[in-house]
Amino acid sequence: MKSLIILLSGLFIAQSAIASADIEVIHPYVQVSKPNELSAPVYAQIVNNSNKDRVLVSATSTAATKTELYDQVSRGGTDSDRKAPFFTIPAQNTLQLSQDTSYIQLIGLVKPLEKNKHIQLTLNFKNGEQLTLRVPITIVVTDIMHQKAKMDQ
């Protein structure tokens, strides 16, 4: 009986490992454009290697008091961001998280994010699976003086 329980436990662990291999996150990063920001977007490519659509329903991070999913939509030639209830990652396909499409927003940063440091981010899927990532922080300077200097080079 004990052997059967160990065998079944091993099969369960093996199935969990296979299921988590279905989702792959490529080049995740948090982008901060100035010191002491209160929020920051997370970008990445989320690859669904399975034969079933996967649905990302939320994300959590200890780096922020709240984490939300956002889509960018165009209306009358103007782009705006809206809170999304979920992201669907089609089977055998990739969801691109970028400033021009969808992204994860960290809101209420608990402390300033520093370049060359990391945050922990957990992706929560509709099927109950969770995927925890170590996400590097990238600082991007976007003020007018630096943009002009960069363009003059």
Give the count of domains, the chain.
Answer: 1
Does 87 fall in a domain?
yes
Strands (E), the chain: 23-32, 39-48, 54-61, 64-75, 78-83, 87-89, 93-97, 102-109, 118-125, 130-139
**Domain boundaries, position 28:** 24-152
Tell me whether residue 33 is in a domain: yes
Model pLDDT for residues 63-115, shown as the tens digit of each residue: 999 999 999 877 777 777 899 999 999 999 999 999 989 999 999 999 999 98
144 pLDDT band, cuts 50/70/90, is low
Q: Does some domain include residue 14?
A: no
**Higher per-residue pLDDT: 145 or 88:** 88
**CATH number for the domain that contains residue 88:** 2.60.40.1890
